[in-house]
């Protein structure tokens, strides 16, 4: 089974455990159709070596948008940026396998030379597609695919109602690369560009 689908199955199954079953004995909503889930936790994205330096070298500063948080790490002499976004909810369905993990917060990219800005936020992870989408500049009518997510080398833990996946590979979509380049007036962002790794902890 594809690694991302395995993670989706685990998350959806854990959700099914906490969805009440009607007294009539019908199947739980998680197996019959979309069921809202009380999710908590957070998703973090840590940039790959060289990404933060490349952005800053081009005069582009990425900053977390509340309630997202940002920290700077130094690893092997390289600066890395880590963004953390709280999980606010989602839904799951086992047949067919699908679901979402919803977040608040975002990232504001600012070109210090021109003052141009673009904000992406209110991220949603699609468990079925393995993609993270977000709205652009606060416009809820404009939602684009920003990152492709791969669990090919991920590590997965399950403990009770807590599911954690780490070392999720994050790459930039062609749509996001085009939008960032056009708005900021750069050619720095490339389709398929490795942004870094993500980790998601869900408490269901």
pLDDT computed for residue 20 by the predictor: 38
Q: Does residue 23 lie in a domain region?
A: no
Residue 23 scores a pLDDT above 60: no
Q: Does residue 83 lie in a domain region?
A: yes
| Confidence band, pLDDT 50/70/90 cuts, at residue 158 | confident
pLDDT computed for residue 60 by the predictor: 97
pTM of the entire predicted model: 0.84
Mean pLDDT computed over every residue of the chain:
86
Residue 27 scores a pLDDT above 90: no
Q: Does residue 129 lie in a domain region?
A: yes
- The encoded tokens of residue 53 equal 């330096």
Q: How many C-beta atoms surround the C-beta of residue 33 within 10 A?
A: 11
Range of the structural domain that residue 144 is part of: 3-18+28-203
Q: Which is higher by pLDDT, 143 or 97?
A: 143
- The encoded tokens of residue 103 equal 């977040």
Domain count, the chain: 1
Q: Over pLDDT 70: what percentage of the chain?
A: 81
The verdict on whether omega for the bond into residue 97 sits within 30 degrees of 0, i.e. cis, is no
Distance from CA of residue 78 to its chain's centroid? 23
pLDDT computed for residue 100 by the predictor: 92
**Mean pLDDT of all residues in 70-78:** 92
Using CA atoms, how far residue 157 sits from 10, 110, 135, 171, in Å, is 10, 36, 30, 23
Q: Does residue 9 lie in a domain region?
A: yes
| Confidence band, pLDDT 50/70/90 cuts, at residue 142 | confident
pLDDT per position as a tens digit, 89-121: 988 776 776 789 999 999 999 999 999 999 999
Q: Does residue 94 lie in a domain region?
A: yes
Question: How do beta strands 106-111 and 117-126 pair?
Answer: antiparallel
Q: Tokens 């998703």 map to which residue?
A: 43
Of the candidates 102, 53, 99, the residue with the CA atom closest to the CA atom of residue 73: 53
Q: Does residue 13 lie in a domain region?
A: yes
CB of 83 closer than 8 Å to CB of 64: yes
pLDDT computed for residue 18 by the predictor: 47
Q: Does residue 155 lie in a domain region?
A: yes
pLDDT computed for residue 176 by the predictor: 97
Q: Tokens 């919803």 map to which residue?
A: 102
Answer positive or negative: Cα dihedral of 201, 104, 153, 55.
negative
End-to-end Cα, the chain, rounded Å: 23
Residue 196 scores a pLDDT above 70: yes
């Amino acid at each position: 089974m594809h690694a991302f689908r395995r993670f989706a199955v685990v998350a959806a199954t854990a959700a099914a455990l906490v969805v009440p079953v009607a007294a009539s004995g019908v199947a739980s909503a998680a197996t019959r159709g979309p069921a809202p889930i009380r999710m908590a936790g957070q998703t973090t994205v840590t940039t790959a070596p060289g990404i933060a330096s490349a952005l800053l070298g081009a005069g582009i500063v990425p900053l977390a948008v509340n309630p997202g948080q940002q920290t700077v790490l130094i690893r092997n002499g390289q600066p890395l940026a880590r963004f953390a976004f709280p999980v606010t909810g989602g839904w799951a369905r086992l047949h067919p396998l699908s679901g979402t993990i919803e977040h608040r917060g975002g990232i504001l990219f600012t070109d210090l030379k021109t003052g141009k800005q673009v904000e992406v936020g209110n991220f949603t992870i699609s468990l079925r597609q393995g993609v993270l989408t977000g709205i652009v500049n606060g416009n809820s009518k404009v939602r684009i695919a920003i990152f492709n997510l791969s669990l090919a080398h991920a590590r997965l833990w399950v403990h009770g109602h807590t599911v954690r996946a780490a070392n999720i590979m994050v790459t930039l979509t062609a749509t996001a690369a085009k939008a960032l380049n056009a708005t900021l007036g750069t050619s720095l962002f490339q389709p398929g560009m490795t942004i870094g790794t993500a980790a998601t902890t869900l408490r269901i």
